[in-house]
Amino acid sequence: MKSLDALGITLPPPTAPVGSYLGAVRTGQLVFLSGHIAKKDGVPWAGRVGAEISREEATAAARSIAIDLLGTLHGAVGDLARVRRLVKLTVLVNGAPGFAEHHLVANGATDLFLEIFGAEAAPVRTSYGAQLPLNACVEIDLIAEVG
């Protein structure tokens, strides 16, 4: 595992749920994290990718969500060194009509995770377009295996 300090990353506190659900649930060796939406300056980063938001901005938003997910995962397991692998990543992109680069937006999160945990921890991944809560540009959830 690569040091977060080396990457200039400071983990945020776990993201608090804003509804009737939990932010993280552990069952056995799996930890399921609820979807985290993109935020900019502490508020939902709203807009459709390919219209109000560029693909490059959305990719950066996905990377920032990955950092938020790591904060929540750290809160759930106490130490990211306990992560054996990332199992499943689902990336939802609020794309404008005709936007077809959801997979490239998803790379913002996946590439960061690979840099931190290495290729052996690579998850399976799904990315697709969706209308998202608060008109957020990107939302991501994660399933991780821990020891």
Please say whether the beta carbons of 118 and 1 come within 8 A. yes
What is the secondary structure of 83-126 as a DSSP string?
A: EEEEEEEEEEE-BPTT---HHHHHHHHHHHHHHHH-GGGPPEEE
Residues of the domain holding 120: 21-146
91 Cβ contact partners less than 8 Å away, ≥ 6 residues apart: 62, 102, 105, 106, 109, 125, 126, 127, 128, 138, 139, 140
pLDDT, averaged across the chain: 96
Judge whether 12 lies within some domain.
no
pLDDT in tens, 22-54: 999 999 999 999 999 999 999 999 999 999 999
Place of tokens 């990332």: 86
For position 1, what pLDDT does the model report?
Answer: 78
* Three-state DSSP state, 6: helix
Place of tokens 């690579």: 122
Domains identified in the chain, total number: 1
Secondary structure percentages of the chain, helix, strand, coil, to 5: 35, 30, 35
Give CA separation, 136 vs 15, 28, 37, 62, 121, in Å.
Answer: 16, 32, 6, 11, 28
Q: For the domain that residue 49 is a member of, what is the CATH number?
A: 3.30.1330.40
Judge whether 125 lies within some domain.
yes
Mean pLDDT of the region 6-14: 93
Q: Is the pLDDT of residue 18 over 90?
A: no
Judge whether 39 lies within some domain.
yes
